[in-house]
Every structure is written in C-alpha cells, then in structure tokens.
C-alpha cells in the first residue's frame, strides 16, 4: 500500500515551517520560509502557497494539507486579527489559498497550540492517553484540551487558553487586558522583565556575568544559570514553576484531566521549572486527581506545529 503523506505547516509571525509528514508523525523533509508578515495578508498567503508548492515538487503522494496558525480559528475556518500579522482582519486562510493550489487537495486550518497538542496526541507523549491538557511555554502561553483523542474546541474554537487562567485578580497586567494571568508571569517577555528587575537586588548572581559576556537575559538563560548552580536562578524558576502549577491545578480540577503535557521552548527546563510546577500541581489539585496527576514533557519541540497540522489534516479528511 502506498504511504500516506500530508503537508504540515506552522505559520508563525516571522517563519513559516513546512514539512512532509508521514502518518506516524515523522518528517520526510522540511524547510523554513520568511513569513514577510509586514507585507500584509496577500503576501503571506502567497508565501504559504510557495512553501506548499516547493514540497509538492518532490512528487510524493500528498493526500492533504494542514496549517497551524496563530489565533483562534472559528467554526467557519476564519482567523481574526492574529497577533504579529499587521493588516489582517478576519481571514479564511483555506479559501484564500485554494486558487493557488491543486484543486483536489483538502486544506485544514487550526490554531497553532491545538495542532502542537494534536501531534502529542497522535504520535507523541500523549499517544497512549485519550485525555490531557497541553500547555506550550513561549512568548505567549498557549494551550489545548485533548478529549477522547481529539481537540476540544469549545463553542467557537477558542477553548484551552491556559495562559489566561488568572491566579491573582490584583496581579500583573496581561497582554489580554486582564490581571494575574499565568502568561503575565511565565510568558517569556514577562519572565525576562521580572528576572531583570530582581537581578538588580542580587549582585552575586551568575547571571550578571553571563549578561556581561553578551548573552541575552531570557528564560533559557535563567535555566542555564540554574543548571550551573546559581541560587538566584533556581529560586526564581521555582517560584515561577509553583505559580504555573497553581494555574494548572485550576485547569485539571475543572476538566478532570490527569495528565498535563508541557511543550514549547522552556519544556527542557525540566528540573528547576517543571519540577516545582509538578509539585505545586500535585499539592493543589483535588484529591481524586492529585493521587495520579502527571506532568510530562512533550515529545516534539520546534516541529510540533508542522507534524500536528499534517496529522490533523489526514484524520479530518478521512485519509487515515
Ligand atoms: Zn491574559
């Protein structure tokens, strides 16, 4: 039997990642393209089409195309005012792509965090679990609820916004306009700003030397310092992890999920961020959940969006 292949794309504000995805979640090949978001929606749609055509040129039997895009994808397949995409209002990406691509190829569009979660559900850390909560730690904090092996979209496609679970109504102001959202603590930008503020009071931290050597103060650098033994960094990450665990506890209590999978750029910060997050989650979850609730690191990192989008398109179009 001929192998079933999809094209999966992860459309980001600066880069479009595109790959040929096998049904087991492995990539045959992939490439990255500049999004050129500043040039507006028509230019971005043309770039996406170029990326797809470059993969079709290899002649592999592609059955479907899946795209992970920023922002909520509503039930009509439209995205509204995606962040970091100037000039975009309400856009139906699949409809706009259609004239640029071979007519017979089905196109599926879904939120980027949702497709990353789907990659874990079909071929990753959650492939033997039907129900879990997914959270992705990056500039923003995204999330998804996987229920019965599928993305739980809610009424209009916006479910799973873990990043905007508030842990303090008087807390720091979040990008969304509310206060105390977990994103306003552990989103990369917020975390870097807070670390910089506190570092001023801690002249002994190793981070000062790392920054003086030209490194940028971001959460990954804080984790590097923690691994190297820096107490400031360890305590800072432990505090952030504890807050993350509190937000996750609210989410698992609400949804009766017994598994949380963490993806994104910080998911490698296993010991000093996720360890405290795990303990905090176990401490705060209600008894029936805390006895066996697990927090695991995602299998896929940078490739998650491509792989999940490709797999989702194969499933939704009935190819697998
Ligand atoms: Zn928020």
Same structural domain, 44 and 135: no
Left (φ > 0), alpha (ψ -120 to 50) or beta: where does 36 sit?
left
Query: Which domain does 64 fall in, by range?
Result: 5-119+303-316
Q: Measured at the alpha carbon of residue 208, what is the angle toward residues 206 and 214, in degrees to the nearest 5?
A: 110
What's the CA-to-centroid distance between 100 and ligand 1, angstroms? 37
The whole-number pLDDT of residue 205 equals 97
What are the residues whose beta carbons fall under 8 Å from the beta carbon of 92, sequence distance 6 or more? 76, 77, 78
Report how far residue 41's alpha carbon sits from residue 93's, in angstroms, rounded to the nearest whole number: 9
Same domain, 308 and 291: no
CA distance 171 to 228: 31
For residues 94 and 159, state if they share a domain: no
The confidence score (pLDDT) of residue 2 equals: 67
Distance 176 CA to ligand 1 centre (A): 4
Same domain, 10 and 110: yes
Distance 286 CA to ligand 1 centre (A): 24
Q: Are residues 73 and 171 in the same domain?
A: no
CA of 247 to the centre of ligand 1 (A): 12
Identify whether residues 113 and 195 lie together within a single domain: no
- Show the low-confidence residues of the chain (pLDDT under 50): none
Measured CA to CA, the distance from residue 311 to residue 93 in angstroms comes to: 18
Which structure tokens are listed for 87?
Answer: 């000039």
Regarding whether 97 and 239 lie in a shared domain, the answer is no
In a domain, 124, yes or no: no
> Which residues, 6 or more positions from 278, have their beta carbon under 8 angstroms from its beta carbon?
241, 245, 295
Q: Do 309 and 217 fall within a single domain?
A: no
User: Are residues 34 and 176 located together in one domain of the fold?
Assistant: no
| Distance (Å, whole) CA 313 – CA 320 | 9
Residues 103 and 159 in one domain: no
Q: Do 60 and 69 meet the contact criterion of CB atoms below 8 Å apart? A: no
Closest CA relative to residue 156, chosen from 247, 260, 80: 80
| 183 shares a domain with 36 | no
> How many domains are contained in the chain?
2
- The CATH number of the domain holding residue 198 is 3.30.420.40
* Residue 57 resides in a domain: yes
For residue 291, report the distance from its CA to the centre of ligand 1, in Å.
30
Q: Which residues surround ligand 1, an ion (CB under 5 A)?
A: 164, 174, 176, 178, 181
Q: Are residues 289 and 148 in the same domain?
A: yes
């Amino acid at each position: 039997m001929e192998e079933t292949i999809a094209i999966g794309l992860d459309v980001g504000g600066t880069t479009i990642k595109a790959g040929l995805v096998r049904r087991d979640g492995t990539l045959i090949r992939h490439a990255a393209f500049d999004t050129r978001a500043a040039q507006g929606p028509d230019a971005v749609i043309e770039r996406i089409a170029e990326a797809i055509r470059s993969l079709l040129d290899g002649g592999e039997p592609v059955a479907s195309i899946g795209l992970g895009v920023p922002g909520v994808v509503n039930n009509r397949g439209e995205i509204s005012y995606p962040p970091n995409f100037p000039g975009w209002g309400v856009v139906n990406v699949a409809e706009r792509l259609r004239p640029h691509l071979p007519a017979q190829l089905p196109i599926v569009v879904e939120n980027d965090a949702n497709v990353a979660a789907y990659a874990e559900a079909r071929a990753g850390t959650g492939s033997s679990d039907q129900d879990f909560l997914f959270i992705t730690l990056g500039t923003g904090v995204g999330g998804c609820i996987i229920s019965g092996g599928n993305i739980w979209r809610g009424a209009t496609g916006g479910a799973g916004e873990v990043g905007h679970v508030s842990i303090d109504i008087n807390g720091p102001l979040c990008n969304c306009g509310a206060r105390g959202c977990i994103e306003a603590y552990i989103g990369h930008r917020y975390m870097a700003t807070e670390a910089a503020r506190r570092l001023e009071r801690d002249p002994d931290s190793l981070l000062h030397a790392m920054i003086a050597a030209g490194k940028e103060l971001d959460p990954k650098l804080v984790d590097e310092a923690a691994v190297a033994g820096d107490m400031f960094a360890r305590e800072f990450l432990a505090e952030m992890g504890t807050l993350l665990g509190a937000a996750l506890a609210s989410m698992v209590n609400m949804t009766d999920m017994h598994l949380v999978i963490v993806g994104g750029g910080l998911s490698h910060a296993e010991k000093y961020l996720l360890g405290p997050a795990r303990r905090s989650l176990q401490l705060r979850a209600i008894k029936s959940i805390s006895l066996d609730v697990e927090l695991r690191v995602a299998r896929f990192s940078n490739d998650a969006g491509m792989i999940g989008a490709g797999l989702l398109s194969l499933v939704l179009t009935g190819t697998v």
